[in-house]
Amino acid sequence: MTTPLPTITFPNGRTVPALGQGTWRMGEDTADRASEIRSLNLGLDLGLTLIDTAEMYASGGSEEVVGAAIETRRDEAFLVSKVLPSNASREKTIRACENSLKRLRVEQIDLYLLHWRGNHPLSGTVEAFEQLKAEGKIAAWGVSNFDVEDLEELADMPAGSSVATDQVLYNLSRRGIEHDLLPYAAARSLPIMAYSPLDEGRLLPHPILAKIGRELDATPAQVALAFVLARPGIIAIPKTGSAERVKENHAALSLALTPAHYAALDEAFPPPATKRPLEMI
């Protein structure tokens, strides 16, 4: 019998495992396309149904890879894509979404995000998101790289409370959101998507991860992911184009860190004592 995966439920009731798949830098090199499609499919086989992409990634190339990967199994995937701030006006958001739908070759995006705040008024972006939802082109919408004050501003707008997630940078070396954004989101049952949970690989050489890994028969990547996954209300979206690493990252779901491990991690990567401005990559 296999243990059920920890899950996250979005405000519209859709539930996904707390580990998803990132796709930044996929679609950049056609030589990698087959292995990228293979790794996304293996992730789906293992139940990692949420796939995160964006119109920005490889200028649409990542969405095309995702579209190819899910072509015969659309219903198994929960697709997240993002509109660039420069495209996030009331009118252009609609077109950007329609272009993403074409590249993904699907009728609907499950969750559509504003990639980060730009110069277009947020109210216009939200109106466009609501129109896309009413037309069935997206099932839900959210934001990315929003700090607490941005979320508060959003909450005060008409339909602002329909926000379904905030996707932000979170990993052992970027713990600022533990001070304010995570408690804010938890109080509102707003799921947080943790991007770059391995800090784009920079975390992995840290000796404490190797030490804990030796004790648990785990890799540094698994320890770093287990730290993020242990927090309720968070979905981590590591990216890998390697099938072996998809299996490795998936196994992090069943890795349990002990209080002594958390203490050692806190010493190496101190939690925030005061407010830190939201970091982004």
User: Which residues are designated catalytic?
Assistant: 57
37 vs 91, beta carbon nearer ligand NAP: 37
Instruction: Kindly state whether residue 253 participates in binding ligand NAP, applying the rule CB under 6 A.
Output: no
Instruction: Kindly state whether residue 69 participates in binding ligand NAP, applying the rule CB under 6 A.
Output: no
- Evaluate whether 129 touches 160 at the Cβ level (below 8 Å): no
31: amino acid identity, one letter: A
- Which one among 22, 27, 60, 85 touches ligand NAP, defined by CB under 6 A? 22
Reduced to 3 states (helix: H, G, I; strand: E, B; else coil), residue 265 is helix
Choose among 47, 63, 31, 52: nearest CA to 246.
47
Choose among 102, 34, 95: nearest CA to 64.
102
Instruction: Kindly state whether residue 100 participates in binding ligand NAP, applying the rule CB under 6 A.
Output: no
13 vs 143, beta carbon nearer ligand NAP: 143
- Which one among 52, 55, 63, 110 touches ligand NAP, defined by CB under 6 A? 52
Reduced to 3 states (helix: H, G, I; strand: E, B; else coil), residue 116 is coil
- Which one among 93, 125, 145, 165 touches ligand NAP, defined by CB under 6 A? 145
Instruction: Kindly state whether residue 198 participates in binding ligand NAP, applying the rule CB under 6 A.
Output: yes
Instruction: Kindly state whether residue 35 participates in binding ligand NAP, applying the rule CB under 6 A.
Output: no
Q: Report which residue's Cβ sits closest to ligand NAP.
A: 22
- Evaluate whether 243 touches 39 at the Cβ level (below 8 Å): yes
Alpha-carbon distance 22 to 53, whole Å? Answer: 7
Reduced to 3 states (helix: H, G, I; strand: E, B; else coil), residue 109 is strand
- Which one among 238, 250, 255, 278 touches ligand NAP, defined by CB under 6 A? 238
Site for ligand NAP in 103-122 (CB under 6 A): 115
Q: Which helix (H) or strand (E) holds 50?
A: strand 50-52
Alpha-carbon distance 192 to 273, whole Å? Answer: 21
Least Å distance, CB 202 to ligand NAP, is 8
Binding site for ligand NAP (CB under 6 A): 22-24, 52, 115, 144-145, 167, 195-201, 204, 221, 237-242, 245, 248-249, 280-281
